[in-house]
């Protein structure tokens, strides 16, 4: 949701003005800016509102204002992970005799505390304090009011508003008995009340699934893009926090699947999920071609042993647009990319790609090979890097392997590209006709080679 928001018009009476619960899953894309993921307010006077937002310091605020009294509940906990889904549960129940139980917040099943800016405890609402979430507009994805903005950049999923109910987080999620991680309950048994709703369930974008008469949400601005990335199957993206070169300033968009940059220097980025075994596939679309074949390099890299400081090149294997294969390992031969260049991988030496070409990148970590497809045609068939002792991708080295890109831009984003890690989109452009994918994990433009799968939590367990 970048400059995208959904809303529902003002509705009727609430089941309860003292008790309700919000639960949703969210995956952040950018940090350190004010971003609203929910606001419910008087649509005309903007004098009464409930708001949930990320603040510039990456904490969360739950704010409430009834036209005279204002209450703000800020978290001490920071939310800076752009690779995983968070489950937030906001539990409002002013009938509670204990003041700190009247406004509770849980993250991945654990209750967290509130603090004021000065570190003191907040002022809690009086017992039976009413908050009327009735005839007011509901908005997900931006700040509404008379001066709208502060859009959410990220993804939302499985949003529940339960009017008249005080639900514990265990109503929406549970701890996995094997991994100990908090996981989603995709179809919980809940009561929604007069004003409640259940939206953004899997591919069901804006429909109200609660079965009541509150009315459905609609897309009010921007483009709401479906994503296969979900709380039950997390897909790899580019890593917003990965910045090995100090002056790196690349811009990541569309859920951190597209890059651009105007910095006159080499830049690079890696995936958020790595694997030490298995066969994986992703697609890359060259968006902008500056005419220099060596300035866009796409491939695979180790994400637990990357080059740091001023060494802003890659340490795995990448192909540039002229088909030249480069790669190595941190510390090898003083780490000069040209000195560790591998032999040509393409028979005949004429492999190349340019703007609007779509590459299919397949790696077999167990057998130390990779293959490359261009616009659905096999160009490099199971190139073996098994004898390249300096290559960080070798299975024997035990590194975590992920997609990577290395590029150079001067101005005007002269080199940029978009990844399809399985969501079925390059930026906001959907694949024209999805190819065959035997693993049933991810949507790609072209056929996924037999035995390969998207790099996701489901793919890791295939």
Whether 193 and 57 share a structural domain? yes
In a domain, 315, yes or no: yes
Per-chain mean pLDDT for the chain: 81
The predicted model gives 117-121 an average pLDDT of 68
pLDDT at position 64: 82
Q: List the CATH number of the domain containing 90.
A: 2.60.120.200
In a domain, 431, yes or no: yes
If one compares 308 and 138, the residue with the highest pLDDT of the two is 138
* Predicted TM-score of the model (pTM): 0.86
Please report which confidence band the pLDDT of residue 254 belongs to, taking 50, 70 and 90 as the band edges: confident
Q: Are 228 and 442 in contact (CB under 8 A)?
A: yes
Q: Which residue has the tokens 């009464």?
A: 48
Please report which confidence band the pLDDT of residue 249 belongs to, taking 50, 70 and 90 as the band edges: low
Please report which confidence band the pLDDT of residue 51 belongs to, taking 50, 70 and 90 as the band edges: confident
Whether 406 and 333 share a structural domain? yes
Whether 270 and 211 share a structural domain? no
Whether 195 and 271 share a structural domain? no
pLDDT at position 72: 85
Residue 422 has pLDDT above 80, yes or no: yes
Q: Which domain holds residue 163?
A: 5-221
Model pLDDT for residues 140-174, shown as the tens digit of each residue: 776 676 677 777 788 888 989 898 999 999 999 99
Whether 295 and 356 share a structural domain? yes
H-helix or E-strand containing 429? Answer: strand 429-430
Q: For the CA atoms of 125, 130, 134, 140, what is the dihedral angle to 10 degrees? A: 10
In a domain, 243, yes or no: no
Percent of the chain residues topping a pLDDT of 70: 78
Domain count, the chain: 2
When mean pLDDT is compared across 174-183, 223-232, 246-255, 435-444, the lowest value belongs to 246-255
Q: For the CA atoms of 14, 18, 19, 23, what is the dihedral angle to 10 degrees? A: 80
Whether 135 and 21 share a structural domain? yes
Whole-number Å distance between alpha carbons of 322 and 59: 46
Please report which confidence band the pLDDT of residue 322 belongs to, taking 50, 70 and 90 as the band edges: confident
Whether 207 and 277 share a structural domain? no
Whether 296 and 356 share a structural domain? yes
In a domain, 49, yes or no: yes
Cα 197 → chain centroid: 24
Listed residues 221, 243, 263: the one ending a domain: 221
Q: List the CATH number of the domain containing 376.
A: 2.60.120.920
Listed residues 172, 200, 221: the one ending a domain: 221
Whether 289 and 144 share a structural domain? no
Nearest to 47 by CA among 23, 64, 32, 26: 64
In a domain, 228, yes or no: no
In a domain, 119, yes or no: yes
Whether 160 and 260 share a structural domain? no
Please report which confidence band the pLDDT of residue 348 belongs to, taking 50, 70 and 90 as the band edges: low
């Amino acid at each position: 949701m970048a400059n995208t928001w959904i809303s529902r018009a003002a509705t009727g009476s609430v089941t309860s003005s003292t008790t309700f619960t919000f639960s949703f899953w969210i995956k952040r894309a950018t940090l350190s800016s004010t971003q609203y993921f929910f606001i419910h307010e008087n649509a005309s006077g903007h004098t009464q509102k409930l708001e949930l937002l990320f603040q510039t310091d990456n904490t969360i605020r739950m704010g409430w204002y009834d036209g005279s009294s204002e209450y703000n509940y800020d978290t001490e906990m920071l939310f800076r992970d752009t690779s995983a889904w968070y489950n937030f549960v906001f539990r409002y129940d002013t009938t509670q005799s204990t003041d700190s139980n009247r406004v509770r917040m849980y993250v991945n099943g654990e209750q967290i505390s509130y603090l004021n800016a000065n570190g003191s405890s907040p002022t809690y609402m009086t017992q039976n304090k009413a908050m009327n979430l009735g005839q007011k507009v509901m908005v997900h994805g931006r700040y509404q009011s008379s001066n709208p903005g502060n859009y959410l950049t990220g993804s939302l999923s499985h949003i529940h508003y339960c009017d008249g109910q005080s639900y514990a987080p265990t109503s929406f999620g549970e701890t996995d008995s094997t991994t100990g991680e908090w996981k989603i309950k995709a179809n919980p048994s809940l009561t929604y009340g007069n004003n409640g709703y259940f939206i953004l369930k899997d591919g069901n974008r804006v429909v109200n699934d609660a079965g009541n008469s509150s009315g459905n949400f609609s897309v009010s601005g921007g483009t709401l893009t479906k994503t296969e990335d979900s709380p039950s199957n997390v897909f790899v993206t580019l890593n917003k926090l990965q910045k090995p070169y100090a002056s790196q300033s690349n811009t990541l968009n569309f859920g951190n699947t597209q890059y651009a940059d105007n910095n006159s220097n080499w830049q690079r980025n890696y995936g958020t999920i790595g694997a030490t075994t298995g066969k994986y596939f992703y697609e890359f679309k060259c968006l902008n071609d500056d005419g220099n074949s060596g300035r866009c390099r796409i491939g695979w890299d180790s994400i637990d042993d990357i080059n740091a400081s001023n060494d802003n090149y890659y340490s795995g294997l990448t192909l540039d647009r002229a088909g030249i294969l480069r790669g190595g390992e941190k510390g090898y031969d003083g780490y000069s990319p040209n000195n560790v260049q591998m032999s040509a991988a393409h028979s005949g030496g004429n492999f190349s790609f340019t703007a609007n070409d779509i590459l299919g990148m397949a790696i077999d970590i167990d057998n130390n090979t990779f293959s490359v497809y261009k616009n659905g045609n096999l160009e490099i068939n199971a190139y073996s890097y098994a004898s390249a002792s300096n290559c960080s991708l070798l299975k024997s080295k035990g590194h975590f392997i992920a997609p990577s890109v290395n590029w150079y831009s001067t101005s005007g984003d002269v080199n940029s590209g978009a990844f399809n890690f399985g969501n079925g989109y390059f930026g906001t452009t959907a694949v024209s006709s999805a190819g065959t994918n035997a693993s049933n994990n991810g949507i790609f433009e072209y056929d996924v080679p037999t035995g390969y799968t998207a790099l996701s939590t489901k793919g890791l367990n295939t």
